[in-house]
């Protein structure tokens, strides 16, 4: 049996852009992606602390070191620039492996930079 559990989380980053007229997704600074072990095109859940919205989308690489967090396409309607969000990725594994698995959680600073 496989279960889903937290793989990684980028905790409390600020939305820097919202691009409604775009194909869709979330653009994330590549430094944050690497630190959280999230890869391009990976499915993620976005939780908006400011308004309670939750959505799923996929990741696009943002400019490394930029602090960029941009909701694209229809997702742009779920947040405003300056909103604080949590970006969550999940994985599937068997129960025995899951019991000892430790997710990666990063806590960027107020400028979306690694501390």
Q: Is 22 a catalytic residue?
A: no
Using DSSP, state whether 45 is helix, strand or coil: strand
Per annotation, catalytic residue among 8, 25, 92, 101: 25
- Distance separating alpha carbons of residues 111 and 75, to the nearest angstrom: 22
Question: Is residue 114 a contact partner of residue 31, using CB atoms and an 8 Å limit?
Answer: yes
Q: What are phi and psi of 88, to 5 degrees?
A: -125, 135
Per annotation, catalytic residue among 58, 97, 101, 110: 58
Q: Is 101 a catalytic residue?
A: no
Which residues are catalytic, by number?
25, 58
């Amino acid at each position: 049996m496989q279960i889903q559990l937290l793989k990684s989380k980028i905790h409390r980053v600020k939305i820097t852009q919202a691009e409604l007229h775009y194909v869709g997704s979330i653009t994330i600074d590549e430094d944050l992606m690497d630190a959280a072990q999230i890869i391009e095109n990976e499915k993620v859940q976005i939780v908006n602390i400011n308004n309670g919205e939750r959505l799923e989308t996929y990741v696009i690489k943002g400019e490394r070191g930029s602090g960029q967090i941009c909701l694209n396409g229809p997702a742009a309607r779920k947040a405003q620039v300056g909103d604080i969000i949590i970006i969550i990725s999940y994985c599937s594994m068997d129960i025995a492996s899951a019991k000892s698995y430790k997710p990666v959680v990063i806590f960027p600073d107020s400028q979306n930079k690694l501390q």
